[in-house]
Structure 1
């Protein structure tokens, strides 16, 4: 294959990755970040074009790392970062994408999540976006942030706690109808969620979910058909309504959760984070190493 054919093949492979890379860059940088997502991805192409391709073992992983580092460097070099309280009103307006941006960002990404992501440190932001939203393994997170895998896990965990701690909690009439949810033990909430899911009890599912609930799937779970991201009561309750018929209750890492097994082996674990007696985060895990750790 001559040089021109090699360049054409490389460009074709890059264009195949472009939508995913734009999604990653959009979430790391935010709607009003120091660099545009398209610019970050284009810079990755320039770097790829200058790199000898035989040195790259996995092009998708290489591009993920390069785009993440470009975004991370842009965030770190940003000269001035006002406090969230001072810019919240402006950021809410700016975070609403236009028609073209919307196609790139994924319709399910809420303005609220963008605002919360803006409160994370650059490294936390990269870790959360790559691992929790795109299901990237911690090895890729480590490469993108320049940390060890263990440190990358800590970054993602810290980011996850901050995102969950700052996500807005809204009280609605549906919450009031559910009774004193805050008095319910996490085990009871998860069991009620499982039964409502199996039975197609949409009304109960809605009452058990935070209005801003976030559901994510890791790469392995997504490969089995789970959506990478669902946001809000309507999307999450709609996904689980009438499903999870084969799920069973299990303690996962000391916390109540659900598992789906095949021939006696856990294939997917469902972990839940509660606040105020309702579920505000659901994570679907298919990664074998993490499953073994959770079910040990």
Structure 2
């Protein structure tokens, strides 16, 4: 068995399940350890078998997480604005945006597993049911509840990246100018902002979100375009030192969600585009 050929796909599965690049790497390593000790002589579908092991590892991690009072923002995948490299294409297939990962964090471990395995990988509910100790019908209900939560949250950005950038540039221009009125005009009335500078913060509504955005205005002149999980975003990097990763969700010519990661320790662990000044 050539495990390395499966590693990128397993890492992508684990990232969808966990929302953490470090934990995803740990889960894949644990998968390798378990697989290396197993007898694979009777395994007909190695890819499916490895996916099942990774799913079990991730499910255990999610269940251990349940005691945490608050979840930090998921790890963003930041790339240059001119497109994704092959590694990131695998990681972010099926539109795994940051806003989607935030909603996935609100699901139960079983709901998250059922949605990820069935809706993104096509794993049958018979197999999912065995993983979570439920019947196939119950597993289907888990995925249905997850799907409904995701649909109601409206987390998918507009498909047209050019339109996204038009709105994102208007957002940045208003922030640079410190123009509260212009900023509110580009925000959806029910826009959600989640920020993590060491302590998670969540706000809803344009009138409450705009002042929080303007608190970062001093960094706006240093903002550089990036893609964050395949959608538009910025990295303010004064003197070449990243200050934050700002991800925008744009729907219908308005910003509907803003995610700001400004925790210095977490920023230090991210792989950022080398083109940042």
**TM-score when normalising by structure 1:** 0.46
Higher helix share: 1
The structure showing larger relative contact order (alpha-carbon pairs under 8 Å, at least 6 residues apart) is 2
**TM-score when normalising by structure 2:** 0.49
